[in-house]
Amino acid sequence: MQTGHTGFSASLICLLLVISEAIAQSEDNMEAKAAASETAVRWSQSLCAGEQQYVRQRKQVVLKTLSSLGINCTAGLVPHIALLGSGGGQRAAVGLVGSLYQMEEEGLLDTLLYLGGVSGSTWSMSSLYSDPEWSTNLDRAVSRLSGPGVEMELALAWLDERSKEENFSLTDVWGVLTSAGIMKQMDLRRFSDEASRNASNPYPIYCAIEKHCFSNGPIEGKWFEVSPHQAGFPELGVFIETSLLGSRFQGGKLLEQKPEMDMVQLQGVFGCALAHEEVIREFIPPWLDVPGQIDFAAEEYLRVYNALHKLVALTRSTSKDPASLSDLDKLQKILEDKVNRNESAWQQSRSMEERKTLSKHWSLELLAVVETWSQDLEEGAFKTHVSRLIQTVLPLILKWEWGTTANFLYQYQEHSVPPCLQLKDRFHLLDAGLLINVAYPSFLGDKRDIDLLIAPEYSAGNMFETLTLARDYAAAVNKPFPEIDEKILEERDWPKDCYVFEGKDKEPTIVYMPLFNRNNCKDAEEFKAKMEEYSTFQRAFSQDKIEFVLETAKTNVKNNKETLLREINKAVLRRHN
């Protein structure tokens, strides 16, 4: 990595100017909206006025597209169709771009009223929507996936600015490194900026969960959604304007408006599965993996190791310099050697307290190893960058705080607000994939009145799990969901490339399309191997892997064009009937 180049310095200056301008614009907006503080919290199970207007305009695009496909429809009976990208890290981010690209190639993209995402799919959504006309220019999105990425210095400049803010957390580190290293851009716009756009693209909905309600609260307090117009809890029916997310509230009143989060921050919020302890436990080293039990004494050690391991991999994705990559490989090897130490000391520690003390000691030892490694690097730009990153990140890893956001329901005296959302002035927004790895909850019921859900599946783990979890969620909140034939679930180890779960009455129909399937895997063993080869938590994909996932997702859509057309046509007839 070089320093001192005029172009590079200009890029850094431009980034700082953009950050300053964005903050200034947010402050101007704060003054303009101060008068609305008394009514800042909105209670409703209906669409807000802004979304209604966007949807009306978008329906004109959909109507024109249906006509071009030879499907007869009238303006008042345009079907409500949404495409829901699943989670799945970079596999999902790349896969969604491939699916949308082929939808556009087949003339189907503009039949979509909505685009919803969780986790990895939101990474590509935030990248796509940085272009106001992305749905007519997907070549640019594809080329960006293979682009040069963002220089570490630019990512660190953003991180330095963000670290001065009150609710700085590991989510910001995750957001900037996935933006810079995987999505190859730093998108500093504000999500509410899209509220004023024309309806040339599907209306975007991003999803998260609230950590405390996810662990201990009622189901109504778990799911959180963000659109260009509002953010909030759809099952409770309580929202604020998206531009106010992160501002200070008390008792339902706006006390202090803060600058709106940029898309880099939001990318961290929506795609930070590593934030939850349940995910960390999936990466237990063999000597701690005792069948039938989890040793909670090791939790801190597992958090520190896995956070360092993943952050080294993400940092690696921001560099092309061979020497820097070699140094990062050395650190990765040092960390792996440490975690694969002889387990005798752990086994000899009889009590929980002894093991907790040992876990704490080993955690600090891991952090010390990273500091020593950075000090021993050759003097130069890479050492400077890494030292700055370590100074910022290591204290956050010990603190283990993710998704910290001002709570707009703090001390809100309304009986339907659960205690997990009332009692603290901050809440924590995390990756929605921890609950359901597809954004089904935001598209069930009367509010958006969806006829057809197109669900390309990029998730890891058990195939069909997102469907069964969504079915159970729908039952718990008393919303319609199509029947799932239990016999189909037996195909989870080697699924077909497309399933149609037909909705009756108010149930949406779901077209479910697994990325890896019987068309591209000759048997269950190859299916399993592909899932492992393209696993969620790994280094940034090589160019070959990016192209493979892109082409696989494109082929799935191409092969199932007739099924999609048939179900779109049925959705139109359903509206008419």
The reported pTM is: 0.86
Q: How far apart are CA 42 and CA 39, in angstroms?
A: 7
The alpha-helical segments, DSSP class H, found in 169-245 are 170-181, 211-216
Q: Is the pLDDT of residue 352 over 60?
A: yes
- Helical pair 120-128 and 263-270, crossing angle rounded to 10 deg: 160
Half-sphere exposure of 496 (CA within 13 A, CB side): 10
Adjacent-strand bridge partners of 239: 42, 232
Q: Is the pLDDT of residue 469 over 80?
A: yes
The alpha-helical segments, DSSP class H, found in 182-283 are 211-216, 263-270, 277-280
The predicted pLDDT at position 78 comes to 96
Mean per-residue pLDDT, 221-247:
96
Mean per-residue pLDDT, 507-536:
95
Mean per-residue pLDDT, 154-174:
87
Most confident of 228-237, 282-291, 385-394: 228-237
**Phi, psi (degrees; rounded to nearest 5) at 464:** 80, -5
Mean per-residue pLDDT, 32-37:
42
Q: Is the pLDDT of residue 343 over 60?
A: no
Q: How far apart are CA 540 and CA 550, in angstroms?
A: 15
* Radius of gyration for the alpha carbons in the chain, expressed in angstroms and rounded: 24
Q: Is the pLDDT of residue 319 over 90?
A: no
The predicted pLDDT at position 504 comes to 93
pLDDT band at 126 (very low <50, low <70, confident <90, very high): very high
Q: Is the pLDDT of residue 563 over 70?
A: yes
Share of the chain above pLDDT 90, in %: 56
Q: Is the pLDDT of residue 280 over 80?
A: no
The predicted pLDDT at position 353 comes to 76
Find the distance separating the first CA and the last CA of the chain, reported in whole Å: 63
Nearest to 316 by CA among 138, 527, 152, 506: 152
**The tokens of 35 are what?**
């008068």
Q: How far is CA 367 from the centre of its chain?
A: 28
Count, residues in the chain: 577
At position 105, the amino acid (one-letter code) is E
Three-state SS letters, 373-429: HHHCCCCCHHHHHHHHHHHHHHHHHHHCCCCEEECCCCCCCCCCCCHHHHCCCEEEE
Q: How far is CA 142 from the centre of its chain?
A: 19
Q: How far apart are CA 151 and CA 176, in angstroms?
A: 11
Q: How far apart are CA 25 and CA 14, in angstroms?
A: 16
pLDDT band at 32 (very low <50, low <70, confident <90, very high): very low
Mean per-residue pLDDT, 493-512:
97
> Strands 238-241 and 230-233, how do they pair?
antiparallel
Residues 6+ positions from 21 with CB-CB distance below 8 Å: none
The SS3 of residue 220 is helix
CA dist 255 → 30, 165, 516 (Å): 11, 17, 50
Most confident of 274-278, 291-295, 368-372: 368-372
Q: How far apart are CA 269 and CA 345, in angstroms?
A: 37
Residues 6+ positions from 281 with CB-CB distance below 8 Å: 294, 302
Structural domains of the chain, with CATH: 6-266+413-576 (3.40.1090.10), 273-401 (no CATH)
